Amino acid sequence: MGILEGKKVLVTGVLTEASIAFATARLAQEQGATVVLSNFGRALSLCQRIAKRLPQEAPVVELDVTDTEHLSTLADRLRDALGLGEGDHLDGVVHSIGFAPQEAMGEGFPEVAWEHAATAFHVSTWSYAALTQACRPLFGSSASVVGLTFDATVAWPVYGWMGAAKAALESTSRYLARELGARHIRVNLIEAGPIRTMAAKSIPGFSQFEDAWDGRAPLGWDNTDSEPVARSTVALLSDWFPATTGELIHVDGGFHAMGV
């Protein structure tokens, strides 16, 4: 028996096999979950291709988190994709989505135009609440929502407005936890160390993060392995964190707790 036996979970954001979402979907299936994936635009066909590499091929629904119609029809489309009948529910949602235009990252933080910062907030922050709301009609007596962040308590080189969007994501998670706790919907974030995914490669100077982790994370850190992050995400989706919400769990090899 796996820790997600019988659970139905939406995992957003599978783009390549390096995606944090891919390792999460794989482990969720290995732990007994029925998984549905989502992505959008050109990433949709990549996601459909990668879905075949999971232990069981997962259905894929289209979801651009900036598309109002995609959001308003999501619950019905998930119901179809998962074959949910009367009394069936969605038990978990993984928000593994982030994007900021190149103009919003790198140096020159104060010069960035609102439209670029706004895109980062729309896709990476507001979407956490919008996705949760879109899935709400499918939740039963309890559910778990998990998102992914990168330490937003400090300012990093080159991360720019993506860092500000992550800080707002961390706040958004707490507000969601506050509002949805009465319905036993837990809302938590995993704060991951740097992993070489497509999103990471789009950050100019990402290697500076990797260099920072070198030698400082007491447990060590492998930036090509998303499994530790995926394992913790699966644990949060399970019934083994029943009284945890509004929490931010560090999965960074212990980096955040060290001075230098």
Ligand X SMILES: NC(=O)c1ccc[n+]([C@@H]2O[C@H](COP(=O)([O-])OP(=O)(O)OC[C@H]3O[C@@H](n4cnc5c(N)ncnc54)[C@H](O)[C@@H]3O)[C@@H](O)[C@H]2O)c1
188 binds ligand X (CB under 6 A): no
13 binds ligand X (CB under 6 A): yes
Among 163, 194, 228, 253, binds ligand X (CB under 6 A): 194
Helices (H), the chain: 20-30, 41-51, 68-72, 74-82, 114-121, 127-135, 160-180, 198-201, 207-213, 227-237
- Going from the C-alpha of 133 to that of each of 9, 89, 105, 165, the distances in angstroms are 15, 15, 29, 19
Instruction: Pick the piece of the chain touching ligand X (CB under 6 A) from 78-86, 94-102, 108-116, 152-160.
Output: 94-102
199 binds ligand X (CB under 6 A): yes
Instruction: Pick the piece of the chain touching ligand X (CB under 6 A) from 80-88, 192-200, 211-219, 242-250.
Output: 192-200
Among 36, 148, 177, 236, binds ligand X (CB under 6 A): 148
C-alpha 102/C-alpha 28 separation (Å) is: 33
Instruction: Pick the piece of the chain touching ligand X (CB under 6 A) from 25-33, 52-60, 135-143, 187-195.
Output: 187-195
Letter for the amino acid at 111? Answer: E
156 binds ligand X (CB under 6 A): no
CB atoms within 10 A of CB 124: 27
Instruction: Pick the piece of the chain touching ligand X (CB under 6 A) from 77-85, 96-104, 137-145, 239-247.
Output: 96-104
Question: Which residue ranges make up the site for ligand X (CB under 6 A)?
Answer: 13, 15-16, 19-21, 39-40, 43, 63-66, 96-99, 123, 148-150, 192, 194-195, 197-200
